[in-house]
Structure 1
Amino acid sequence: MGAFSSIVLLVYVAATLLSISEGSERIHSLIRQPVAGTVSAESDPAGFSCLSWRFGVETKNIRDLPTVPKVCQHYVADYMLGDQFLQDSKVVTEEAFKYAKTVKLAGDGKDIWILDVDDSLITHVDFYAQNGFGTEIFDVTALINYLAQGISPALPESLKLYRRLLRLGFKIVLLTGRMEPSRNFTESNLKNVGYHSWEKLILRETGEWNDTTQRAHKSAERRKLVESGYRIIGNMGDQWCDLLGDYPGHRTFKLPNPVFYTE
């Protein structure tokens, strides 16, 4: 490798590490505001355990979740803004990478890894902080307006996995429940925080912005991918609707998200 090539490589590596570091710092730099009327412990005086509640949600034992219990607002805030959320995410992404390394790719460009976008690649934790960390029903219009700003930071461990998958030779397909009119600001946000070189970014053509059709949409799009010759090797998302249904992939990986639930 020549001197110029070595310099280019060093600059690229430095930029990559800086991007991941900035994403992590952005998440940790969010200021925690006091939450009135809630408790900071893992359970309230009456014995309700927010830690056990979160476990029930993540394992899909607690379903049809309208909102986060009010008593758990401070707990969810501490979790989302603290080290535990990043550590839990790292466990998932490291297992995904461990599996990815065992796969022998066909070399025809048809081995794909599907990734959800919202709260899987980028986080909206600052929006949640302004809206009760899931204890309030989300204002859909306010959420769309927030997304349109394109300021959501990358989830550091997800970005690291994304780059590893590209280096291994996987084609990346981003499958999101966002609507087609959001394509431009979605692409801009993703590129600005370090995501690039995806094979496809699949959005919904029509329909309401709600949870009821997410699973059907993603199942239908995965079916189209398989029928067009792609092989879904891996699939990662923060909601069960990302991973259930038809053609989920050879392996699925569930990221943590206690703020809301979509099956």
Structure 2
Amino acid sequence: MTIFKLFLLFSFLSFSFSEETPNHHAFPRPLILEYAELEEEEVSLRCRSWRFAGEANNLSPWKTVPKECAEHVKEYMNGKGYVYDLEIANKEAGEFAKSVKLKEDGLDAWVFDIDETLLSNLPYYAAHGYGFEVFDHAKFDDWVEKGVTPAIEASLKLYEDILNLGYKVILLTGRSESHRAVTVDNLINAGFRDWHQLILRSSDDKGKLAVIYKSEKRSEMEKEGFRILGNSGDQWSDLLGSSVSVRSFKLPNPMYFIA
């Protein structure tokens, strides 16, 4: 069993990573956590704990996957664990959706994020270190414009169930308005249909933290009379803030953090 020094370096950087305009805000000082002479099994356990802390929203804002955990994240994203985590999150969302008695005015809504919620950018991140590389929005824009992002199968099933139950589906994404046409085509080709509204970042939203941008858009939905009963997203910034849903469902994503 190989023994080596493991250093986890977390810099308290806020990486406001929308798919279009990432911003960096440095905190006063870095935090260095040192784990000396850990066995490989211990490293794996530490990285699982790091991933769990991220899913539980217990980590400080982070910029990239820690070097020592890059292989762990790669294995997770390509393994059954990620698939099962997606399935259980979407299954529980579906059970909640079915438990609600909808009103007859057509104003009961479910909000979905797009990237890593409905569509999987795993092919892109496989070529860019599964989150170990610093995010490059120009390269990601080029990927988006290809319009070939596949559906997350468990999310597609939930999406269809939500529609069939009578919810109004509203798509709320950090993608730029300039990507509207390719995003519409990509969604349709991946099997998504009949959404009520697709909201993308306009020029007025440029530079806003995702949690602020999405809160504002949900507030506008409520002013239009919608009752936001459910919300599905892979980032806590999709789900927190103001005008939150009755129930929110966090999908797994250890590859990047959006504030």
- 2-structure distance, mates of 1:230, 1:207: 23
Tell me the equivalent position of 1:205.
202
Identity %: 41
Question: Under a length normalisation based on structure 2, what TM-score does the superposition of the two structures give?
Answer: 0.82
The one-letter amino acid of 2:251's match is: L
Tell me the equivalent position of 1:237.
233
Q: Which of these residues, 97, 118, 123, is aligned with residue 121 of structure 1? A: 118
Aligned residue-pair number? 220
Partner secondary structure for residue 233 of structure 1: strand
Tell me the equivalent position of 1:253.
249
Partner secondary structure for residue 259 of structure 1: coil
Distance 1:234 1:43, change over 3 A: same
- 1-structure distance, mates of 2:160, 2:89: 15
The one-letter amino acid of 2:198's match is: L
Question: Under a length normalisation based on structure 1, what TM-score does the superposition of the two structures give?
Answer: 0.81
- 2-structure distance, mates of 1:227, 1:208: 19
- 1-structure distance, mates of 2:119, 2:50: 24
- 2-structure distance, mates of 1:178, 1:224: 18
Q: Map 1:1-263 onto structure 2 (within 5 A).
A: 43-44=42-43, 49-206=46-203, 213-263=209-259
The one-letter amino acid of 1:222's match is: R
The one-letter amino acid of 1:96's match is: A
Judging by fraction of residues, say which structure has more strand: 2
- 2-structure distance, mates of 1:168, 1:115: 15
Contact 1:111–1:230 under 8 Å retained in 2: yes
Q: What is the CA RMSD across the aligned residues, in angstroms?
A: 1.5
Distance 1:120 1:209, change over 3 A: farther
Judging by fraction of residues, say which structure has more helix: 1
Contact 2:205–2:213 under 8 Å retained in 1: no
Partner secondary structure for residue 92 of structure 2: helix
Partner secondary structure for residue 78 of structure 1: helix
Give the CA deviation at 1:151: 0.7
Partner secondary structure for residue 230 of structure 2: strand
Contact 2:51–2:254 under 8 Å retained in 1: yes
Give the CA deviation at 1:234: 0.3
The one-letter amino acid of 2:228's match is: I
The one-letter amino acid of 1:183's match is: R
The ranges of structure 1 where at least 4 consecutive aligned residues each deviate by more than 4 angstroms after the TM superposition are 207-210
Give the CA deviation at 1:209: 6.5
Partner secondary structure for residue 108 of structure 1: coil
Q: Which string of whole-angstrom CA distances, capped at 9 and with x for unpartnered residues, describes residues 39-65 of structure 1?
A: xx6643xx8711011011111111211
The one-letter amino acid of 1:93's match is: N
Give the CA deviation at 1:68: 0.1
Tell me the equivalent position of 2:29.
none
Distance 1:106 1:146, change over 3 A: same
- 1-structure distance, mates of 2:204, 2:75: 35
- 1-structure distance, mates of 2:198, 2:120: 18
- 2-structure distance, mates of 1:42, 1:111: 47
Gaps of 5+ in 1: 1-40
Partner secondary structure for residue 49 of structure 1: helix
Give the CA deviation at 1:207: 5.6
